[in-house]
Chain A
Amino acid sequence: MSNTKYSEEHEWISVDGDTVTIGITNHAQEQLGDVVFVELPDVGSTISKGEDAGVIESVKAASELVAPVSGEVVETNSALEDEPGKVNEDPENSAWFIKVKLSDASELDGLMDVEAYKSFIA
């Protein structure tokens, strides 16, 4: 994941051309505790930066997946809805949430790189 960006909402955004894969960071899953429910947006729906794009519930709290970028949802990891525990096991890899076709690639500029994110959570 060489070209990976991070949001202040503790999401990772892996960039591949004009499509990005979005998940939550290991730090986020540690803070949430055991994830018990995941709700994903519909494929084909449009998400807008800063708005809710899904729901993540843990034994501690219910929170939203906040869209770090805007665009069209082209794929979702529906396995998470059946097995939300994957988010705790492999958050930064197989437990990705959604893939989005960017509508405004410049939104990536406002995200953090890995070094900036590390100091953000330190």
Chain B
Amino acid sequence: MMDSEATVYELSVPGRPGVSLPLLDVPETSFPDVPLREELRLPELSELDVTRHYQRLSQRNFGVDSGFYPLGSCTMKYNPKINEAIAQMAGFAQTHPLQSEDSVQGNLELICRLQDWLAEIGGFDRVSLQPAAGANGELAALLMMRAYHKDHGEKGRTQVLIPDSAHGTNPASTSMAGFDVLEIPSDERGNLNIDALRSACDDTVVGIMLTNPNTLGLFEEQVREITDIVHSCGALVYGDGANMNALTGIVQPRDLGIDLMHFNLHKTFSTPHGGGGPGSGPLGAAGPLCDYLPGPIVERRNRDGGGYCYDIVIPDRSIGRTCTYFGNFAVLVRTYAYIRMLGAEGLKQNALHAVLNANYLRVRLQEAYKVPFDRLCMHEFVCEGVATGTGVRAIDISKRLIDYGFHPPTNYFPLIVREALMIEPTETESKPTLDAYIEAMLMIADEVRKAPDVLKSAPHTAPVGRLDEVKAARDLKLCDPTIFT
């Protein structure tokens, strides 16, 4: 086990400052008493102490660049370094969003082209790159649906249909938009229950939020029937594009009857996640909904007398901005680089390999881990991390995986699978990596029977052992009273 790392407060040595302030060369004046604190316990360390402390901490991070990271529904694919090189080019990195349009035509061209590419990938008529993340795109889409229904004199539509397998952001966005959630159950094949959907559809329905493939990693087999039923009651179909990595270059969601959909650039299009983000959730729209997209967006205009230029425009009935300026532009540059590098055929190969990798893992692991919806999966699958009679749960299996050098899969989601382990390998992993993961998972399955206590106390090789998540949630302390008063 690695040594635990002391905090900067514990490493502090009184009188060891990290900076040398210049001598006072202005008249000394007194500071007002009110904001003064009796004591300000800042840690005192040299620059080298601080550098080494954070260097050590950074080396304990686990990312896609350190190892296999099959976090289901997150598409933790490798982010090619060329994306970074392009994004750091001065013409992109050192421009300002308030520069005049004529001085940033290259940036606007990139935005315009990326809008067009995403529209083509999704089969949509128009795309806005504004939303800053997936849930931001969801909220924007719901506000668009509201504006659309209002313009058609239908104020009585207040219910949003959400499958019981949906991402938690779907009901959260619905609630933020001021609508009510109506949950639609799944059937025994892991598809949306068509009968339940049919009986829920009436003139109170705003629309449905549909993820395809759904979070079980399964393609909705009656997707066209679903979208037809929803449309027939005058409601709209929103696609949650989180799982688009299974479909790029193969299926255009618009062909499935989807009116609006967000893309997760930080999933499907290899831009960094989380702390390395930010994210980006561009929104595609079809037909009359295009006018409601958040703006600004960029359009190409032919100049009188020849040539063309790029204009910043707001769609006619736009719901407004969802983000400052043009969305997270540096993320858009990375996406542009990625799509340009792969091309249409490359994106299609990505989807095919993502699905192949997931099915390889599913078939090899299901001898030890029950897969409740046992059919050909798409880019991910869900199995049960539980062994009756042993007391071992999904969380124990996940923690034990850390000892084997792998990032755990998504736990306890979707909620409709008992002790869910949701595994998404992505297309960027090689067969030897997948085989090493399979071997670790099968060894853990063996340990479940032979040495369950090893699992329940895992991880054993990480810098810290099993963290007390219950205490962290029940007894939350955001500041240490011995440091901050």
Contacts and interface: CB of A to CB of B under 8 A. Distances in A.
A59 B473 contact: yes
Contacts of B470: 34, 36, 59, 85
A117 interface: no
Contacts of A61: 412, 415
B473 A37 contact: yes
Nearest to A31: B418
A57 B415 CA distance: 13
A60 interface: yes
Nearest to B180: A51
A84 interface: yes
Chain A interface mostly: loop
B469 interface: yes
B474 A36 contact: yes
B415 A84 contact: no
Contacts of A85: 470, 474
A59 B469 contact: yes
Interface residues of B, number: 8
A84 B475 CA distance: 11
Residue from B168, B412, B415, B474 having most chain A Cβ neighbours under 10 A:
B474
Interface residues of A, number: 10
Contacts of A62: 168
Nearest to B473: A36
Contacts of B415: 61
A37 B473 CA distance: 8
A60 B168 CA distance: 13
Nearest to A52: B181
Nearest to A85: B474
A41 to B, nearest CB: 17
Residue from A36, A37, A85 having most chain B Cβ neighbours under 10 A:
A36
Interface in A60-80: 60-62
A60 B474 contact: no
Ranked nearest first, the 10 interchain pairs of A and B with the lowest CB-CB distance are A36-B473, A34-B470, A60-B412, A36-B474, A59-B469, A61-B415, A59-B470, A61-B412, A36-B470, A59-B473
19 contacts: A34-B469, A34-B470, A36-B470, A36-B473, A36-B474, A37-B473, A37-B474, A57-B473, A59-B469, A59-B470, A59-B473, A60-B411, A60-B412, A61-B412, A61-B415, A62-B168, A84-B474, A85-B470, A85-B474
